[in-house]
Structure 1
Amino acid sequence: MHKSWTWAALLLALLIPSLASAANALGAAGLQAQHTALAPQLARNAFGGPLVLRSDEASRRIDGEVYAVLEHPFARVSSALSDPVQWCDILILHLNTKYCHTQAGPGATRLDVRVGKKVPQSLSSASKLDFNWKEPVVRPDYVAASMEAPDGPYDTSNYRLLAEAIPLDANHTFLHMAYATSYGGASEFAMQLYLGTIARDKVGFTRAPEGKGEDGYVGGMRGVVERNTMRYYLAIDAYLDSLEAPAGQQLEHRLKAWFDATEKYPRQLHEVQRDEYLRMKHDEVARQGRPQ
């Protein structure tokens, strides 16, 4: 049974950076329309800031997306999101990301990503996702970047991660980040086992229909999607914020900022202590500069 739980936990980690239907780019005009339509929710929500989080669960597919106003100039956001090397610096902030390294090939760039447990782990025991980096769209008024992995371990497939943004004013940018993935019957069984046992008390951010959920929040796969959507949004924001610090202080700044931001939502996101996280991530960042 313990091995089944471990397999399921790793499977859920694999479902973090991926997407299908929610991951379609809206384009500059579409983003502007969404910013207008979501204005009431951006101004007033449970997050205490301009953020809208959405999730959906369908037959053997999960989708998640976030819309947020970033307190960063568009030029900084565009430069970061359109660079696969900087994406590795973003992805490694997440607890489950153990390694990320870019590999440039003839006419294509790949991201070698390893995911696994929320504690220190050897790369040989982590699971590999081989992302194909798509050529980003970079314009003065719009940026869009995406990466795709058609196949994954544990009966998963069709991974995709998307981020797009438009400028709002000199110091603010509107971001749309989305992801989803497909999974087969074996994966579904493992996930249900995990969610029904050691992860049964974990929740997301959306209020559940009356009489359902834990503490009034959605659980299950929607909870998984929402927790990791938030973690990746906070990773992007922490990374962008760290770019204002001197080069030698940026890593420490973003690690502390990411962890402290997640602790604002302890019911959903608390997993490890701050010192444990910092030690683990310093080690993982050190090894991710080396091809494996």
Structure 2
Amino acid sequence: MIMTKLSKILIFLAVFAVLWPLNLIAQESAPVVVVPTYRPSATISVSDKGEASVKNAVVFFVSGKALYARTYWGESYVKWTIRINDKTDLIKKFGGKIEVGDTKVGHILDVEGPLVAGTDTLNITATVIRDLTLEMEKAGFSGKVVRANNGSNTFVVAVDSGKEVTVKVNSSTVIKKGAIYIPLSKIVYGDTILSVDGTYHEPTKTITANNVEVYQTKKIFEPKNFEGILKSISDTELPITAVVSIGGVDYDFYLGEKASILNAKRLNAKLQRFVVGDRVRLYGKIRETNLNEVDAEIMRNLDL
């Protein structure tokens, strides 16, 4: 009798020794369920055909194409299994498309779809999942600049739909005016924004811009007269580069071999007679790639 009891004890210990490590492995590999701290009150409605609408479901676990969520009312809650298939429409709060993996633990969802029949728990095959936590959208706008605030790295555009959008720029934002890259400080009231694209936040009407394209009138590139003070000249024979100060801004004028060099009376003149400080008048057109560079055909010294 004693041997029988001893045999049973030994068998139990042997089984325990085998199963206990397996139990530890199972515990280590079991998914960790995170209970979100933000729990908005939920709303649920179900039609007589079993079509459900669930508002403010809180995701507490994600597994492939299944989301496990809870709907809360105070401390009380109901668990949901939300099934996703190829026909499920997955969208952000304001309608942008998302992928299954974009929804994370703690996200708040609005879900629509039929309840799954024959289950002991609340299962829904989702036709639409709107992730209310994902508010940022990829977007693009165009319009007129109505305010510029370089201090806050922003400007405001009145877009075609009539609303105003704040455009926020950062160190990686690319701003072009025509063919020229410009800093934010060159954007002023009245400028036409052909396009701005980036990440848009609907509640604040703010887009963090990746690219901004500003309209550049072609009139500025038409040939015209320039007048200023000669600061330097590269040579005494053509072709030359002359630096001329106009209204406190230095311009580089490029004159080719066929350019005309004239005096005040419009007669041919020698470049050797041009000196720094002379008043000069030039005729040419600004380069589209640099507003401070001019291809000139004529340079006239008004002091000769």
User: RCO (CA 8 Å, sep 6+): is it higher in 1 or 2?
Assistant: 1
Query: Could you say whether these structures have the same fold, taking a TM-score greater than 0.5 normalized by the shorter chain as the test?
Result: no
Q: TM-score, normalised by structure 1?
A: 0.16
Q: TM-score, normalised by structure 2?
A: 0.16
